[in-house]
Amino acid sequence: MKILSIFGTRPEAIKMAMLCRKLSETEGIKHKVCVTAQHRQMLDQVLDFFEIKPDFDLDIMKAGQDLTDITCEVLKGLKELFKSYHPDMILVHGDTTTCMAASLAAFYAGIKVGHVEAGLRTGNLQSPFPEEANRELVSKLADLNFSATEANKQNLLNEGIKPEKIIVTGNTVIDSLLFAKDKMNSFSEEVTDSLVRNIFENHHQHIILVTGHRRENFGDGFLNICRALKEIAEKHPEVEIVYPVHLNPEVQKPVNKVLNGISNVHLIKPLSYPDFVYAMKQSFFLLTDSGGIQEEAPGLGKPVLVMRDTTERPEAIDAGTAKLVGADFDKITQGIESLLTDEEEYNRMARAHNPYGDGKAVERIIDKLLHKK
């Protein structure tokens, strides 16, 4: 069986890494990797860490590209690739524009599609945008849907996807996390800020790790988030807030405007995946609008405050490992205060069951591929 894994962003690469490594070692499967490079530098960092060398690189990233540009370039690039290399199935991940466009290109070429992390839903096409639309489109095109949880499977069944096309595997991010956390016991040499290194490596008690990049928080949302962080930093000088700031100008501008110059707020460049895993391990809790971190942090016993109004990962909310606070000043400050001052609340969230699997998702996906009729 000829299988081609296609991805283009850092989150996709993280969640596909262990699957790619194992597929390349599996008898009965001829596996190749194609990257679109929807992200370039951040993607390459993950590939290097997991020692994955792509067989094909569309290298589509250009300054100022928008969603239409990405879609068109992936479609054109894969159209040409499929003329010379025609796999039996492609594997795509999640809800990126690369995932959607690759699935459509395969559909046009008569190639089967396997969708990893299928079935996440918010029920609102605008939140998150464009991810919710991407994932719904891919579900209709996929021949196999590898769902992380039973709730994801139920979402697909509710949309009329046939049960035989769905398998619950757990989330591949846990497979990657377990691999990475055992390798990372300090920062790499890429982290040159001596103060930040000292904070993490000397096990500072109260480190709040922050990430943010969602389009729906651009504008007033990020201003509210930053004002809340400023409030906490000034009220709790014993707390260290570390914020690897996304490169998007829509994020950089409000973050630097509100938070620059505060002594216990550390605005640093984005961390590589292994360095971020180490930072998560050493943190007290996380504040994020990222989807993947909602899955990873519970695997490390870290509470998560989610800066979104809705989430396609309700399992973490239901399990108690995560809490929705939106981009709301009051909810964010109250959520942080609770975790800093209420030991019982902190322990309840930190010790809650991780709903995203046991690190054997890759094994289940490969078993299904080998036994697919």
131 among known catalytic residues: yes
| Domain identity same for 152 and 253 | no
Is 163 contained in some domain?
A: yes
| Given the residues 117, 132, 175, 295, the one annotated as active site | 117
Identify the pLDDT of residue 323. Answer: 96
| Domain identity same for 267 and 213 | yes
27 among known catalytic residues: no
Is 83 contained in some domain?
A: yes
pLDDT per residue, tens digit, the chain (373 aa), is 999 999 999 899 999 999 999 999 999 999 999 999 987 877 898 999 999 999 999 999 888 889 999 999 999 999 999 999 999 999 999 999 999 999 999 999 999 999 999 999 989 998 888 999 999 999 999 999 999 999 999 999 999 999 999 999 999 999 999 999 988 989 999 899 899 999 998 877 899 999 998 878 888 989 999 999 999 999 999 999 999 998 888 889 999 999 999 999 999 999 999 999 999 999 999 999 988 899 899 889 999 999 998 888 888 899 999 999 999 999 999 999 999 999 999 999 999 888 888 899 999 999 999 986 4
Is 177 contained in some domain?
A: no
| Partners of 353 in beta bridges | none
| Domain identity same for 224 and 290 | yes
| Domain identity same for 331 and 363 | no
Identify the pLDDT of residue 161. Answer: 97
Helices (H) and strands (E) in the chain, counts: 16, 13
Q: In this structure, what CATH number is given to the domain that contains residue 39?
A: 3.40.50.2000
Q: What is the dihedral angle through the alpha carbons of 106, 127, 322, 195, rounded to the nearest 10 degrees?
A: 90
246 among known catalytic residues: yes
| Given the residues 21, 204, 206, 213, the one annotated as active site | 213
Is 292 contained in some domain?
A: yes
| Domain identity same for 332 and 362 | no
| Domain identity same for 197 and 336 | yes
| Domain identity same for 217 and 343 | yes
| Domain identity same for 260 and 366 | no
| Given the residues 204, 215, 236, 364, the one annotated as active site | 215
| Domain identity same for 9 and 135 | yes
| Given the residues 214, 246, 266, 308, the one annotated as active site | 246
**174 close to 299: Cβ distance less than 8 angstroms:** yes
Is 178 contained in some domain?
A: no
Domain that holds residue 126: 2-171+358-370
| Domain identity same for 7 and 26 | yes
95 among known catalytic residues: yes
Identify the pLDDT of residue 256. Answer: 93
Is 179 contained in some domain?
A: no
Amino acid letter, residue 360: K
**369 close to 169: Cβ distance less than 8 angstroms:** no
119: nearest Cα among 178, 160, 75, 176: 160
Identify the pLDDT of residue 372. Answer: 66
Query: In total, how many domains does the chain have?
Result: 2
Distance CA 5, CA 106 (A): 12
| Domain identity same for 240 and 318 | yes
Task: Tell me the CB-side half-sphere exposure of residue 194, using CA atoms within 13 A.
Answer: 0
Distance CA 335, CA 321 (A): 13
207: nearest Cα among 215, 216, 217, 197: 197
Q: What is the pTM of this model?
A: 0.84
**167 close to 368: Cβ distance less than 8 angstroms:** yes
| Domain identity same for 88 and 11 | yes
Identify the pLDDT of residue 373. Answer: 46
353 among known catalytic residues: no
**312 close to 295: Cβ distance less than 8 angstroms:** no
Tokens of 107: 């559909």
Is 273 contained in some domain?
A: yes
Rounded to a whole number of angstroms, the distance between the first and last alpha carbons of the chain is: 12
308 among known catalytic residues: no
172: nearest Cα among 152, 146, 150: 146
| Partners of 192 in beta bridges | none
Is 182 contained in some domain?
A: no
